[in-house]
Amino acid sequence: MKTSLAVIGAGRIGQIHAGNAARHPAIQLAGIADALPQPAAELAARLGTRVLDVEQILADRDIAGVLICSSTDTHADLIQRAVAAGKHVFCEKPVDLDLARARACQKAVEAAGRACLIGFQRRFDPTFAALKARLDAGEIGTPEALTVVSRDPGAPPVAYLQRSGGIFKDMLIHDFDIFRWILGDEAASLYATGSCLTDAAIAREADDIDTTAVTIRTVSGRLCQIHTSRRAAYGYDQRFEVLGSDGMLQAGNHRPTEVTAFGSAVVSTDKPEHFFLQRYEQAYRAELEHFVAVLGGRETLRVGIADGVKALELADAATRSWREGAVVHFGA
């Protein structure tokens, strides 16, 4: 009894999920839809499945779940249509760039009673997931402070950044989710600042920044600092550490190999995995595995649309804090 899934969106991330689905022994990849016929046809041919359109997917009673990998502006609408059609949803982040629309979408999902997994794949990374499990098991006592370093190897094109919603929604959305997941707490106040240091065009043409520093204080007084940059000459840098009352847990980068070279100048090892497709390869597989397990009733959903909305709230607040140069206070 395979689980039948369809994929909407044949771009970079759609190819990842569709490929993982096609190789998964318990998944029947029912088909692939894309706004453009060519990419959909190529991907479907490569994976031995059909091209469908969104209507066909939603109408097909055999399809249990839809993987939404299309552009961000289509997410909210597709989520709502899919759950209305009785499908479970696995949607890439973010839910939407607009908080009100994301909240409306959350209501629709909750009303429909369908699972809506949001693609915060870092929660499924072996290192991050192991750290979280050890934290939950009490290994370092009560968590007190979280320090996140998150750097990309290089910035995407300015044209992409212009439509990205800004660095806080586009890049830090993942880090905000890490904050909520790891500390298991909500923000009481947030301060964000940043600069455009790697490419002046990012400020000039996209009115955005490329280097940020965010501080969150939680309702129970815990502290979180997030530092991100759009550029790290040495590759993709994804680390965090949690201080607890009884110790500290660090999550480090993964390296392609374990070769160490002793040369006449230095002792060296590999740089971190190049970018997210390499670093999170296992996470993407584990995330899909979880989706299938949720649909099969063997697991309960670990990261749902409410988490997507919460992360967006933080990204919204950070954008505001940065633009106004002031601390944002939540709640009341």
Nearest distance from residue 64's CB to a second copy, in Å?
21
What lies within 8 Å, CB to CB, of 156 at 6+ separation is 164
What lies within 8 Å, CB to CB, of 82 at 6+ separation is 58, 66, 68, 89, 114
Among 4, 121, 127, 164, contact with a second copy (rule: CB under 8 A): 127
Nearest distance from residue 138's CB to a second copy, in Å?
12
Rounded Cα gap, residues 293 and 280, in angstroms: 20
191 contributes a contact to a second copy by CB under 8 A: yes
Nearest distance from residue 224's CB to a second copy, in Å?
8
Stretch that binds a second copy, among 49-57, 59-67, 167-175, 251-259 (CB under 8 A): 251-259
Assess whether the previous peptide bond of 94 is cis (omega < 30° from 0).
yes
Candidates 7, 4, 2; CA nearest to 284 is 7
Q: Interhelix angle for 72-84 vs 99-112, to 10°?
A: 20
265 contributes a contact to a second copy by CB under 8 A: yes
Among 53, 154, 186, 254, contact with a second copy (rule: CB under 8 A): 254
* Residue number with CB closer to a second copy (16 or 102): 16
- Length of the chain equals 332
CB-based contact 148:122 (threshold 8 Å): no
137 contributes a contact to a second copy by CB under 8 A: no
Binders of a second copy in range 58-117 (CB under 8 A): none
Contacts 24+ apart (CB under 8 A), 321-324: 321/190, 321/191, 321/192, 321/193, 322/168, 322/192, 322/193, 322/194, 322/209, 322/212
**Binding-site string for a second copy from residue 209 to residue 248, where x marks contact by CB under 8 A and - marks none:** --xxx-x-x---xxxxx-x-x-xxxx--x---x-xxxxxx
Neighbours of 244 (CB within 10 A): 16
Binders of a second copy in range 289-328 (CB under 8 A): 325-327
| Site size toward a second copy, by CB under 8 A | 73
* Residue number with CB closer to a second copy (145 or 306): 145
Stretch that binds a second copy, among 1-9, 132-140, 155-163, 174-182 (CB under 8 A): 132-140
Among 35, 99, 104, 197, contact with a second copy (rule: CB under 8 A): 197
Rounded Cα gap, residues 274 and 282, in angstroms: 14
**Binding-site string for a second copy from residue 140 to residue 169, where x marks contact by CB under 8 A and - marks none:** xx--xx-x-x-x------------------
Tokens of residue 276, six digits? 């997210």
